[in-house]
Amino acid sequence: MMKLLYAVILFLSLSSWAKPTDQLIILTTFTAESLQPILKQFKQQYPEVHFTILHRREASSLRLLSHDDHDIDIVISSSRTLFTPLVEEGRLLPLNALNYDSTFQQQRFMQDSIANVAIFGYSGYGLMWNDDYLAKHHLPSPDSWESLTDPRFFRHLVMSSPARSGTTHIMVENILQHYGWKHGWQLLMQIGGNLSSVSARSYGVKNSIARGLVGIGPIIDSYAYESQKLFPFINFTYQPNSPLMPSYVAAVKNINQAQHSIEFIKFLLSDDIQQTLSTSSLNKYALHQTMRQPYEIAALDHRLMEQRSTLVKQLFEQSINYQLIRLNQAWQLIHKIKQLNGLSSEEQRQFNLAIRLASTPPVSETQSRNPILRNSLSLSRGDIPTAQLTKNWRTIMTEQLDQAIRICEQLLENHESKRKR
Helices (H), 118-245: 131-136, 166-179, 181-192, 202-210, 221-228
Task: Print pLDDT tens along the chain (421 aa).
Answer: 444 444 443 344 444 344 568 899 999 999 899 999 999 999 999 999 999 999 988 888 888 888 888 899 999 999 888 898 999 999 999 988 776 666 666 666 766 678 899 999 999 999 999 999 999 999 999 999 999 999 999 999 999 999 989 899 999 999 999 999 999 999 999 999 999 999 988 889 999 999 999 999 999 999 999 999 999 999 999 998 999 999 999 999 988 888 899 999 999 999 999 999 998 889 999 988 988 888 888 989 999 999 999 999 999 999 999 999 999 999 999 999 999 888 899 999 999 999 999 999 999 999 999 999 999 999 888 899 999 999 999 999 999 999 999 999 999 998 887 777 6
For 350, the enclosing helix (H) or strand (E) is helix 345-357
- Nearest in space to 123 (alpha carbons), one of 290, 298, 287, 284: 284
How confident is the model at residue 86, as a pLDDT?
A: 92
How confident is the model at residue 100, as a pLDDT?
A: 65
How confident is the model at residue 200, as a pLDDT?
A: 86
How confident is the model at residue 416, as a pLDDT?
A: 81
Handedness of CA 368, 374, 376, 379 (dihedral sign): positive
CA distance 223 to 167: 11
CA distance 291 to 308: 30
Residue type, 137: H
- Contact call for residues 381 and 387 (beta carbons, < 8 A): yes
- Contact call for residues 118 and 285 (beta carbons, < 8 A): no
CA distance 247 to 299: 16
Q: Which domains does the chain have, with CATH numbers?
A: 18-123+244-279 (3.40.190.10), 125-242+301-420 (3.40.190.10)
What pTM value is reported for the model? 0.89
